[in-house]
Amino acid sequence: MDLLHATLLGLIQGLTEFLPVSSSGHLAIAQHFLPGFEQPGLLFDVLLHFATTMAVVIYFRKDIWKLLSCFFRKDPYAVDDRHTFWMIVLGSIPTAIIGLSGKDFFAGLFENLLVIGCMLLLTAMLLIVAEKARKDGRPMTQIKANDALLVGIVQGFAIIPGISRSGSTIATLLLRGVDGEAAAKFSFLLALPAIGGAMLLSLKDLDQVASADLPAYGLGALIAFVSGLFAIRWLMNVVRRRRLVGFAVYCLLVGSSIIGYSMFAA
């Protein structure tokens, strides 16, 4: 892999993993149109996931520490933190079941541009409906078990390329009456077990990597980390200002273009 491809893929992964536009869809589209592109080794995918995981950990380090220490604290907020911890665990269960059972089927969709385009349109519709329907809702401490299970199911199906994980989960929580900032924060925290689990599953299939590729792999991971931090901050501000519709318009334009291209190319 050359440095240019590594930089581009790292940037796409870092931005679109967290912005509500589908990282898997954009990576599949980019790989389709990049001239002379060769599928990188599995280590590159693992490094990108590690980089984006670390971006979440760094940005939400205070919240993560509260969740990890909630069982050892006796302050008034520990009860709320324990509730949030168990809601994240509960939401991760359907995600893991769907991801593990449908992994091979979903992987086969990554080369189907028509499916990717249609799923981008679905993402756009979810964002528009959720933004229009949202109200001042419940805080994260009032997320219920049925909220967590539903958003976990949605996150599981977001493995389909073109469906944004962050966009679909945030939209689901908004439609369930959860406050915008709380919905975004819970979505990012819920992503940690999913992204970390996918990374660990990939480790067992690692192949030997040529030493010549290591600089490109490292550069791609660094770009994914930095752009991921930027994307998280950007999305949190967008959610606070109620401007998700802009991402919906983007998904509509890209999705429609990809559908048109796939039908014309066929």
CB 149 within 8 A of CB 176: no
For residue range 66-84, what is the model confidence (pLDDT) as tens digits? 999 999 988 889 999 999 9
Residue 12 corresponds to which tokens in the numbers above?
């796409």
Name the DSSP class of 212: G
pLDDT for the residue 153: 96
Top-ranked range on mean pLDDT: pick from 22-31, 106-115, 140-149, 236-245: 140-149
pLDDT at 12 over 70: yes
* Of residues 63, 62, 48, the one with CA closest to residue 18: 48
Residues contacting 254, CB < 8 A, separation 6+: 21, 29, 117, 120
pLDDT for the residue 48: 82
The pTM score is 0.89
Residue 230 corresponds to which tokens in the numbers above?
């930027």
Consecutive H or E run containing 12 = helix 3-16
Distance CA 207, CA 264 (A): 37
For residue range 164-185, what is the model confidence (pLDDT) as tens digits? 999 999 999 999 999 999 999 9
146 pLDDT band, cuts 50/70/90, is very high
For residue range 186-243, what is the model confidence (pLDDT) as tens digits? 999 999 988 777 777 666 655 555 666 778 888 998 999 999 999 999 999 888 888 8
Averaged pLDDT of the chain: 87
Distance CA 96, CA 230 (A): 27
Residues contacting 177, CB < 8 A, separation 6+: 135, 137, 138
